Each structure stands twice: as structure tokens, then as C-alpha cells.
Amino acid sequence: MAAPKRPMNVLFVVSDDLTSTALGCYGHPLVQSPNVDGVARNGVRFDRAYCQYALCAPSRASFLTGLRPDTTRVLTNGPDFREFHPNHVTMPQLFKNNGYQAIREGKMYHMGVPGTVGTDRWQDAASWTHNGSPQGKEHNSKGETHDLTPHIAPGVGMRTVRTPDASEQADFDAANRAIAHLEKHRNDPFFLGLGFVRPHVPFVAPSEYFDRYPLSKIRLTKNPDGDLDDIPGIVARTLGATAGNMKMNEDQQLEALRGYYAAISFMDDQLGRVLKTLDRLGLRENTVVVFMGDHGWHLGEHSFWQKRSLMEESAKVPLLISAPGMKGRGQVSRSLVELVDIYPTIADLCGLTPPGNLEGKSLRAVLETPKRTHRSEARTQLNAGTTEGRAVRTADFRYIRWKTPTETAEELYDHRKDPREFTNVAGDGRYAAELTRHRALVATSAG
């Protein structure tokens, strides 16, 4: 008689404020991210994956519930989705309800960085059998500190800390805790949600990680003269302090890039410690590994920094899925996908039945055949006060519509000719048909 099949485990890793443009597996020539790159080699790298909201709390509430932001009604870094959906079964809760150890270590739902690191606020106790909040000193860590934007508050401003002590950092603690859980539950089915706070500001990492990136080797983002001339004025108003290079000069921008890269490499090493444990315990062949960012991040493109834009760099996220038995191992998918697809995908791979009201669809077929088309469009939205922004990314275009009570503004970018979105063709009559088509797509998403 054949032995019963073991349930599939899940290692679900989310890195905070991580852009795909700053990872080795996505082609960055300088950033060292060997452990993230290893997940890509063992799985499928999604080159056109998009968040549903370009801000932490709304994005995370969306992909952890499998519901779009209009449904969760979490549109800022504040509300708890349970205020509106008290009985919804979240992704980790589905596993908990099916006998899994549903473990959180680190930032899964919203966590204010640096302010609420190490607390369990917003982390939804109903989702977990273990609800852990690793500790970290953030910008209060000992070491050499540089505040590159003293006019901007912590959590948004660019601040670097070269610390001698990795053990003071939440990501180091998170990896230690994750390793302990793997040891303890090696014979139990588990869903381990591991949330790294880096590379979110402040950029805190041991000095050795900064030393990997000499300033002489770092290159600033180049934007053409007049890049912003055809972008609606409403965009700068929604970005606030993160526009205009945050008033950093070129030397400060280089320092900010070095801090960001150092934070990524530090996070990557913590991921590597967890993956090595997974291998040592013989769990990799029975574990779905997902690595992703919660949204994108600007590093000077269009003179923007941080998130909260609806352009490609802010809406697109790194997404890697390594699933045992899938034929797409080591391949790349160019299909449009959304983070709202993650919940049904993981449930499908593990043979669990998710709630019937999920608004994404499983990527299993793409993991088998990465050349397969999954979606014809991907949607991202953003609110800033009374301003509402909605974007749709199709195979060849990005369309953005901004609305306030008194004005509407539009952007349209032709990715066939302009992949970095430097030329807004919304006012070009040659694109009238595409403009009409994309307007209709956004109108549909807005209800």
C-alpha cells in the first residue's frame, strides 16, 4: 500500500518596498542577490507582475485576502480589512483552517516602518497559529548614520545606517525565528509567512553590505530633458515630497542608492539562511516557495523616489514562484499577472479550496507553461486625498486616469517604443483608438 501523500508546505516571503529593477535575476548589473536569484532558477520568474495598489497596507490587504482594493476598502495605511470583512478567510487562514501550522514572522499585513516594527498591530491574529513580530532597532541602531533628507520624516526620508551588529535588525531576527519554526515543524504541514522589512527606509545594514557597492560603480538613473513636461500636474501633487529627487543632490542620490542596494543584499542573506535550512531538512521538494515585493519602488526614474505613483516602476513587482513538480522551472513568464492571483495559485498548488469570492485566478497553468497568456490586462490604483488614480497595463500600453472633484487627467504610454514611459501620447491623435480602448478598461475597473 502506497504511503499517503504529504501535504505541500508553503514558504511565503515578502520583501518590503523592493523593486524588480534592483535584483540580479531581473538584470541589475551591480546588485548582489544570489539567494533571490536562486529562487528564480528553481521556479518561474514573472516579468510583468503588478500590484493592485502602490502602497503597503492596501496592497498587502489585497493579496492576502485575494480581493481587490475596491472590495477590501483598504485604500490608505490605516484601516484593518476586518472592519469591512470580519468573516473573510485570508490566505494563511485557509491553511490554518486545514490543519496547517500558519506561522507569521515579520511584516505580512501592514506594519509601519520604522514606527511599529516589532509589534503585532494590523497583523490579524485570526490568520495565524503563531503571530510573531521580530524586533529591530531601525534608525536607532548603533553605527554611522547619514540623513540624506532631513526635511522628510522617518519612514519616508532617505536615511542610511552602517551598523556593526546584524543581530539588532528585524530581518536577522525574522530569519532566526523562521529557521527555528522549520526545525520544530519539519514533520508538520506549514504555511510560513516570512516578512522582511528591508529594503524599506531607513536603509540599515552592517557595513560590509555598504562596502559591496563603491560609489564609483553606482550609476544614477538618467531621465531625458523635459521628461515631466507632458505629465499632468496632478501627478506631482500626489507624490508630494517624493518628487523632484526628494531635493537630494547627485551625491546624496548615490548614497541613497548604495543604502538601498546594501539593504537588499542584507535581506537576501537572511533569505539564504532560511533556504539553506529548508534544504538541510529535506523540505524543499515538498514546499512551494514564493518570493515577492508588495509593490514597486522608484529610484530616480522621472525624478521620483519611493512608491505611490502609477507608472511602471511603482506598479510592477518582483514575483518568483518555485513549485515542486511544475514544468516551468528556470523559465520566465512575460504574461501579465496580478498579485491578487497569488492566493488562488497557492491554494491550487496545495489542493485546498479557497473562498468562492476571490477576485484573482490561479497561475498554475503558467507555472507549467510559462509562455501561456494569463491576463490581457493588469490593474493598479491609488488614492491621495480627494484624488483617485487608476491604471491599466495591457500588452503594449500603460494608461493612467487621474480624477479629482474638479479635473480629469490622462497618461498613455506605448511600451513598444517607450518602455520607460518618457512620452505621454494621450494627446496624440494617432493613438485615439487605443486611448478609447483603455479608457473603457479603466471605466470597467472603477465600476
Is 56 an annotated catalytic residue? yes
DSSP string for 225-275:
TTGGGGS-HHHHHHHGGGSGGGG--HHHHHHHHHHHHHHHHHHHHHHHHHH
Q: Contact 192/10 with Cβ under 8 angstroms?
A: yes
State the catalytic residue, choosing from 56, 85, 88, 298: 56
Nearest-angstrom CA–CA distance, 337 and 319 = 10
Say how many Å lie between the first and final Cα of the chain, rounded: 54
C-alpha closest to that of 81 among 104, 55, 61, 110: 61
Nearest-angstrom CA–CA distance, 205 and 199 = 9
Is 110 an annotated catalytic residue? yes
State the catalytic residue, choosing from 85, 110, 185, 200: 110
DSSP string for 301-354:
GGG-EES---SHHHHEEEEEEE-TT-TTTTEEE-SBEEGGGHHHHHHHHTT---
Amino acid at 438: H
Nearest-angstrom CA–CA distance, 426 and 432 = 8
Cell of 297: 519602488
Q: Would you give the DSSP letter of residue 54?
A: S
Q: How far is CA 318 from CA 96, 291, 314, 434, in A?
A: 27, 8, 11, 28
Beta-bridge partner residues of 337:
49
Active-site residues, by number, are: 56, 110
